[in-house]
A and B are shown apart, each in its own frame.
Chain A
Amino acid sequence: MKRVAYPQMGNLGISVKSFLWELGAEPIEPSPISKRTMDLGVQNAPEFACLPLKVNLGNHLESIEKGAEYLLMAGGIGPCRFGYYGEVQREILQDLQKDAEMIVIEPNIFSIYWSFNYLHGGFVSPLRLYRILKFAMKKMKAIDDLERITQYLRPRAKKPQQVNLRYQKYLKLLDQAASEDRIKELKAEGIERLQELNNPEVKDVVHVGIVGEIYQVLEPYVSLNIEEKLGEMGVQVHRELFLSHWVMDHILKRVDRSSYINAATPYLGAMIGGHGQETVGQAVLYAREGLDGVIQLAPFTCMPEIVAESILPVVSEREQIPILSLFFDEHSGEAGVQTRIEAFVDLIKRRSERSVLA
């Protein structure tokens, strides 16, 4: 069995892990991102590379210590940097004399199919592959559903911490779930147990949309648990960016992008790579849906998000919605982020009170 590692990004690992098992490879789980992961990545990566590249590299190095022989990465054809992460990381690892092999899955059906056969170490029939993928996708969807409820409940529970704990508990259970029935069962149970924490007396919830670069949005470690922090401040977080949504959109091409593209076009008339156009379009849509504010999350030096950042002030002005752009790097500190979001939440709370009075 091939010992295969993959980088950490939010809950992606749970689905990848079950996918690899089913495929007949041995998944090497990345150690949870820690200060050490970051340090390893930062020391060995180019100084001005974007944060995800650095953290992924840290993951790879730690996984190699745990015996990984193969490293799984996704590829791309530009214009953003992500498509070249694998190349750069491979050369860095080569210079460090690590002999793990990098498997880069390019976004086309041949590469995907070839990589899966390679991981399996032989021929996998398309039908079997379909079943394996479907199962992993089920898990991913169940997790995303639970996360959405968590976002709803954090500002509405007596103790937001309890919501997080229960959510984590069901993540663990889903991680172990071995059949579709079990996934279904856990999902229903999880939803129920989470909803028990709803406190109907809470009324003054404010609504904030999260937009930005996918890694920064989905990986709580690098965004310093911003969603939990917002939840504790009485904010219900909204976002479109979920793993299952990403897979549906980019791999299965089943998402109709026209709504956000139309919304973005007067402000940003082209696809610019990464999630730049989504960021702008979604901010516009959130404003029109009547949310109270939007927060953009992005890694420092992220190209598409810098373009979006340049444009968001006009969106904010014309669509009448406060927008906060937060850029993160390895030096971003809890305190700084906490103050900035507190100030932002204060602002939108005062604003929404005003509109209620008016």
Chain B
Amino acid sequence: MGKTVGIPRCLLYYSYFPGWQTFFEELGAEVVLSSPTNKEIMDLGIRNSVDEICLPVKLFFGHVMALKDKVDYIFVPRMMSVQRNEWICPKFLGLPDMIKAQIRELPPMIKPDVNLRKSRIGLYYAAKEAARPFTKNNWQIMRGLFKAFSAQRNFDLEMKQGKTPLEILELQEFPEPEPESLTLALLGHPYLIYESFINMNLISRMRDMGVRLITPEMMPNSLIRKNAAKQPKNLFWTLNKVTLGAANYFLSAKTVDGIVQLASFGCGPDALINELIERRARREGQVPLLAINLDEHTGEAGLVTRLEAFIDMIKWRRVTG
């Protein structure tokens, strides 16, 4: 039996899990996931982090707490940059340090610096660091990295074909949308739009209503980049650049009936970039946009009412339009 590596089921889990899992398994480790976010995990997170921090990072604390006594190692990468000249967010830059400072009795952390800001070679160093507890064999690391790449590529391709991580990673099933159904874009950080506990099952709720959903992960990267570049100054946050690019595209191409945009309470980049998107939508007044701010107190009833009202409004526009 190999050593176990705990991976918190939150934050970039929704973006990179297949790659991470394959990599560790190739090195002979066993990957253990925390359970999907639930009330207990959220409360653990809230109790073990500072008040001011954003909800997704609070959840990360909760998942680490839930995992820490069950695994030999815990995976807390310092995801600094995954694109040239871009960043994720200052909080990702300090994540392992915050975890170390706030949580006692942690198993050893696997905390590679993932920094592709200057060059892709950063990934190799990160892999080497992540592999340290298991092997120093360069060949094995390279092979692990290669397999991880291909697992990740398959995952990305599946998403491009219209599947969400919920269907791929969590094996959820949704009804097929009807031909005449509404099409909505769902925008936001992957760890908000696919985090069913926090967004009150938004995706399955909308799919059950028969809505066809498009998320940025389903769109071609080049399309997103091209449309993000409409903003005069290049945006330096990767995740928000994706949201901005997708929003710019839909606002001008008008290929969707509406946009639902999620933000997390306490998120620094969202506070600025979602504002830009909302302003643009209002200025142009063509594509309706529903902005939802999620925090730990978001009530299910309120959210459902707003969503239904939004969808009714769009249907009504369709009829009268």
Q: Do residues A311 and B94 form an inter-chain contact, with CB atoms below 8 A?
A: yes
| Chain A residues, CB < 8 A from B93 | 79, 270-273, 307
Cβ of A355 < 8 Å from any Cβ of B? no
The reply on B89 being an interface residue by CB < 8 A is: yes
Residues of A within 8 A of B231 (CB): 87
CA A310 – CA B94 in complex, angstroms?
A: 9
Within A299-315, the residues touching B (CB, 8 Å) are: 300-304, 306-311, 313-314
| Chain B residues, Cβ within 8 Å of A84 | 233, 235-236, 272-273
A50 adjacent to chain B (CB < 8 Å): yes
- From residue A269, how far is it (CB to closest CB) to chain B in Å? 6
How many residues of chain A are within 8 Å of chain B by beta carbon? 44
A327 at the interface (CB under 8 A from B): yes
Inter-chain CA distance A302–B80, complex, in Å, is 18
Contact A81 B236 (CB under 8 A): no
Q: Please, how many angstroms separate the alpha-carbon atoms of A183 and B260 in the complex?
A: 58
> A84 vs B275: C-alpha distance in the bound complex, in angstroms?
12
Residue from A86, A87, A307 in contact with B98 in the complex, judged by beta carbons closer than 8 Å: A307
By the criterion of a CB under 8 Å from any partner CB, how many residues of chain B are at the interface? 42
B222: CB under 8 A from chain A?
A: no
Contacts A86-B233, A309-B52 hold; do A80 and B90 have CB atoms under 8 A apart?
A: yes
Give which listed residue, A48, A273, A276, contacts B267 with CB less than 8 A. Answer: A48
Let me know if B309 is at the binding interface, CB within 8 A: no
Across-interface contacts of A91 in B (CB, < 8 A): 276, 279
In chain B, what residue has the closest Cβ to A265? Answer: B97
A67 in the interface, Cβ–Cβ < 8 Å?
A: no
* Chain A, residue nearest B264 (CB): A48
Q: Are A77 and B85 in contact (CB under 8 A)?
A: yes
B18 at the interface (CB under 8 A from A): no
Max chain A CB contacts within 10 Å: which of B96, B233, B269, B276?
A: B233
Known: A49-B271, A88-B272, A307-B94. 18 other contacts (CB 8 A): A46-B274, A48-B271, A77-B85, A79-B88, A79-B236, A80-B90, A80-B268, A87-B231, A267-B101, A268-B97, A270-B113, A273-B93, A303-B90, A308-B94, A310-B101, A311-B97, A314-B100, A314-B101
